[in-house]
Amino acid sequence: MRTSHITKVGLLTLIVGGTLQLGLSSELQGEEEASAKIELRNDLLEILDTEQLQSALPGVHVRHSETGEELFSYNSDISLAPASGQKLLVGATALDVLGPEFTFETGVYTDGYTRGSILHGNIYLKGGGDPTLLASDFDQLAKELHNQGIRMVQGDIIADDTYFDDTRLSLDLSWANQRGQVGAQVSALSFAPDAALISDVALDRYNTASVYVEVHPGEEPGDEAEIKVTPESDYYSIDNQMITVEEDGDRQLAGWGRDHGTNDIFFEGTIPVGGNSFNQYVSIWEPTNLAVDLFAEGLKDARVRVNGDVVLGETPEDAEALFIHESMTLEELMIPYMKFSQNSHSEHLTKALGQEVYGEGSWDKGLDVVEEYLDSAGVNTNVVQLRDGSGMSHLNAIPTEEMTQFLLHAQDEEWFDIFYGSLPVAAESDHYVGGTLRTRMADTAAASNVAAKTGSLTSKSSLSGYVTDADGEEWIFSIIMNNYIGSSPTAVENDIAIRLAEYEAD
């Protein structure tokens, strides 16, 4: 870090009349407190005065969690892209509008009748936007038909994903991100890989609309690598160009992905004998089709024969419900959603908000609901731009002082404990506690203290949440940095949060 060029005289100028608002309290609480605040502000300015941010646009805002009193402000009125900090806004709105006990429903319906063991009519698999449906859940849906005595269906299996619209990808999603789970397609009838089938220690991340690919070395050099995909299906194909090499050979994933508009997945490179596997989530084109394929396979396994086709359609209003599967509650979903920063969960919640409030499961209507909640929270929505739910769009925008206003208001909501508990916690190694902050700020005053949401995109980084200082006072902070060149300036975010944790007013 280079020496700060801001002198004491310059600092006073900024305090008195510059564009940098330093938030001096109107009533100074003694010389010691005033001195501590000035020292803190000098330190935070020095942290921001780094080569890494020389051509960047950072914004920072800190306010007291009870009084809302401003402690520090730097470009806090500039609208910046928060990356996954956007999930704070969607998660809170979902808790407020849908409620902590909200569940997604996936139903099996029929328009026919049963005579003996034969169902005469169609089977409808109706999606309700659940981002956590596993292959095992589709198997259970199929078993329920068997348990009801059905052994044959004289009709079609019809997949109904009309709870959401048919726009699969958000407006500003980049081409490069569409191959992985971060840019997976959004459907009201989808699936997620079953962690228990992947590994005994795999985490229940629920990477919606993506398959989990493991590439293992063959037994001998020259052998084709072994590729395992979860869940298994004939809906996708694997082009395996991974070659096993000598034990001391190169371990290189030269290329991977999915040909656009298809489910032709490819992996190419080299992997040494006895070497560690490559593991990668790959998104699926039109996930509805894979979801209903998993259901159809489940029916076969459950010995329910279907004399018909698998097609897309809409469930008739007078169809009879044979079985309804409910997801985990929103309260439970908030943990994988926020701790692991799940993009798909946020997009599903956004569209669910639109459907539940306006009867239209679209991004436009869902984001209208989010904006309405922000307005009720005292946020100036005239300076906020919402383009998606996950934060993948580089055109999302919110000033840091509006983010802290939102976080201030959230504390008064009945669901706040759930919201706060879903935030990643600095230096907590348990993935379900530390989340995306589990390796950051260890052995500092911020460890097990800072609870905040991370955000990361190319040239965008953010950290917004809550921190308790050395006096036991809690502060709300938001750091958003845009347009930096090179590696992510997470160290700057860490240093700011640590300094706030160390702050003593007297």
d(CA 437, CA 392): 19
d(CA 350, CA 347): 5
pLDDT of 379 above 70: yes
Helix (H) or strand (E) holding 62: strand 57-64
CA distances from 37 to 17, 47, 475, 499 (A): 18, 15, 13, 12
Name the pairing type of β-strands 152-154 and 305-306: parallel
pLDDT score of 30: 54
Please check whether residue 247 is in contact with residue 274, taking contact to mean a CB–CB distance below 8 angstroms.
Answer: yes
d(CA 446, CA 42): 19
What value does the mean pLDDT take over residues 431-444? 98
d(CA 379, CA 376): 7
Please check whether residue 185 is in contact with residue 209, taking contact to mean a CB–CB distance below 8 angstroms.
Answer: yes
What value does the mean pLDDT take over residues 199-216? 92
Q: Is 504 helix (H, G, I), strand (E, B) or coil?
A: coil
Compute the CA torsion angle 78, 82, 85, 88 (nearest 10 deg).
50
d(CA 419, CA 197): 30
* Per-residue pLDDT band at 12 (split at 50, 70, 90): very low
d(CA 355, CA 362): 7
Helix (H) or strand (E) holding 45: helix 31-48
Q: Which fold has domain 8-99+332-502?
A: Beta-lactamase (3.40.710)
37 is catalytic: no
95: nearest Cα among 388, 505, 413, 498: 413
Please check whether residue 5 is in contact with residue 42, taking contact to mean a CB–CB distance below 8 angstroms.
Answer: no
pLDDT score of 173: 95
What value does the mean pLDDT take over residues 476-502? 98
DSSP characters over 283-306: E-SSHHHHHHHHHHHHHHHTT-EE
Dihedral sign (CA 452, 405, 367, 98) = positive
Which token pair is 298? 């489940």
pLDDT above 90 as % of the chain: 91
Please check whether residue 370 is in contact with residue 89, taking contact to mean a CB–CB distance below 8 angstroms.
Answer: yes
pLDDT of 438 above 90: yes
365 is catalytic: no
Q: What are φ and ψ of residue 303, in 5° steps?
A: 60, 45
Please check whether residue 419 is in contact with residue 406, taking contact to mean a CB–CB distance below 8 angstroms.
Answer: no
pLDDT score of 197: 87
339 is catalytic: no
In this structure, of 28-32, 407-411, 423-427, the range with the lowest mean pLDDT score is 28-32
pTM of the prediction? 0.93
- In terms of pLDDT, which residue wins out, 338 or 4? 338
Summarised one tens digit per residue, pLDDT across range 232-271 is: 999 999 999 999 999 999 999 999 999 999 999 999 999 9
* Per-residue pLDDT band at 196 (split at 50, 70, 90): confident
pLDDT of 28 above 90: no
pLDDT of 21 above 80: no
* Active-site residue identified among 65, 73, 79, 84: 84
Residue with tokens 């769009």: 393
**What is the residue extent of each domain of the chain?**
8-99+332-502, 105-168+286-327, 210-282
* Per-residue pLDDT band at 34 (split at 50, 70, 90): confident
Question: Considering only the top CATH level, what class is 105-168+286-327?
Answer: alpha beta
Compute the CA torsion angle 108, 113, 115, 118 (nearest 10 deg).
-40
* Active-site residue identified among 341, 346, 393, 464: 341
pLDDT score of 20: 46
pLDDT of 465 above 60: yes
pLDDT score of 11: 36
pLDDT score of 22: 44
pLDDT score of 199: 83
Q: State the maximum Cα–Cα separation within the chain, in Å, rounded to a whole number.
A: 90
